[in-house]
Amino acid sequence: MAAKHNPILPFLAALALIPAAAPRYRRNQNTAAPPAGQESGEGILGVVSAAGSAKFSSAQIIAASGLNPGESIRRKDLQLAANRLSSTGLFSSVRYRFFSRGDKVDVQFQVADAPTLHVSFDNFPWFTDRQLSDDIRKSVGLFDGTSPASGSYVDAIGAAIEKQLQALGVQGRVEHRLIERPVGSGMEVQFRLVGVTLEVGSVEFTDPLAQRDERVKERLEDLIGKPFSRYYTDVFVAEQVRPIYLSQGYLQVRFGSPEARFSGNPNLPQPGSVHIVVPVDPGKPYSWGGVDWSGNTVFDADALDRMMGLGPGQTADGLATEAGWQKVHQEYGAKGYLDAALDIQPAFDNAKASVSYNVTVNEGEPYRMGKLVISGLSVNGEKRVRRAWLIHPGQTFDLDYYHAFLGGIAKKALSDLPIHYQHIGRFLQRDRQDHTVDVMLDFE
């Protein structure tokens, strides 16, 4: 790949504007052979190669190292190149070896990719995500929507966004932080603008159900009049809007990324309030087609169906369905089956607009009561709590009783004593070999 076409090359220029970061991890291996011209401390760089990355090619890693074959090279230059790669945060380890070949010095880099996280853009209503991503690729180099949690690479992404904002006359500062994803699981690297606040003026949904729902209308004050944030808009949709659709059987509803529009001139640094448009593809409402159970021995299929609480032909209420799965777990826990797991596979019949489920129950073995460990109470208080706890060692453990005990039985046992606690720390320590469980309670 020619250097001028290498997509990571602009990253080197961006790094020059950012203070060097300390390597997160560095380990180097050098051969005994010194570079040519060691007496003068210099040699001529020959072949440079790199391996070990599943994300970057050898040419891209070499370009990011800053080494150029044919130039004079000193041993400290090799270390600086390795440090440069480490400081990006893109690699969890960087090693190098060098070999003398006549008057040339060949260098081999061995790297390991560092974990990267999804990148989100919180409050940049002047740009779409695509516009931001395209400009980051031009300014920083190869960008696939992910980033390491720290390092000069993530700093360069923030600098690239700031440059775009400055071109519009927006003088705020771009920061990044690790934050839990609003939808799904895991963490993400969020970039947000600090020092400039744009308020939300209005919120629009593209589907009539969300537009008309009174519960959604009542909760819009959580967004309107508040600083614009894509993150909090996504949280609002997940917590306030999505349940409306699920409860009415729209199990395959899809929400697009919130789009920000301005009430004023978008070319001004302060273009007025932000109008949010949330694309909604509701899909179709489904009816309940039942569950095909397998692997269950503790409860028969009829009992499990009753726990689900839905009958054939009823609306496939997604919230009621989730409550049904939780009820099944609860009933297994009440019989000591703490490891019971459900493998749930939905089957959508679009022609009939119905959904059924194939569920394999992995019941495991029932647990028996082990020890009750109590801390944080006086001797008298501990005696009271132990008397109130009714599951004796060797008896089948009852998860329902455990929750009821924490929910009120323990408090009642101590109600006439001058004991004050704010919280009960709790932990179930399972012995999966003997299938016993110790209950640990800490009154704080």
The one-character DSSP state at 227 is: B
Q: Of 362, 377, 405, which one is at a domain's C-terminal end?
A: 362
CATH number for 140: 3.10.20.310
Q: How confident is the model at residue 333 (pLDDT cuts 50, 70, 90)?
A: very high
Question: Which pLDDT belongs to residue 197?
Answer: 83
pLDDT given for residue 183 in this prediction = 83
Q: How would residue 3 be classed by pLDDT, with cut points 50, 70 and 90?
A: very low
pLDDT band at 56 (very low <50, low <70, confident <90, very high): confident
Question: Is the domain of 104 the same as that of 22?
Answer: yes
Give whole-number Cα distances, 369 to 181, 299, 329, 337, 413, in Å. Answer: 38, 22, 19, 12, 21
Contacts of 178 (CB under 8 A, 6+ apart): 117, 149, 187, 188, 189, 190
Q: Are residues 125 and 204 in the same domain?
A: no
Amino acid at 18: I
Number of domains the chain contains = 5
Which residue range(s) make up the domain with 8? 3-113
Say if residues 287 and 313 touch (Cβ distance below 8 Å). yes
Sheet hosting strand 436-443, strand order edge to edge: 368-375, 436-443, 424-431
CA 371/CA 389 separation, integer angstroms: 11
> Are 7 and 108 part of one and the same domain?
yes
Mean pLDDT computed over 151-156:
90
Q: State residue 185's pLDDT score.
A: 83
Q: Answer yes or no: do 34 and 93 share one domain.
A: yes
Rounded Cα distance, 80 and 86, in Å:
10
Are 177 and 135 in a shared domain? yes
Q: What is the pLDDT of residue 268?
A: 57
Angstrom distance (rounded) from CA 49 to CA 29: 15
Stretch 270-297: mean pLDDT: 92
What is the pLDDT, as a whole number, of residue 265? 62
Single residue among 113, 144, 168 that ends a domain in this structure: 113
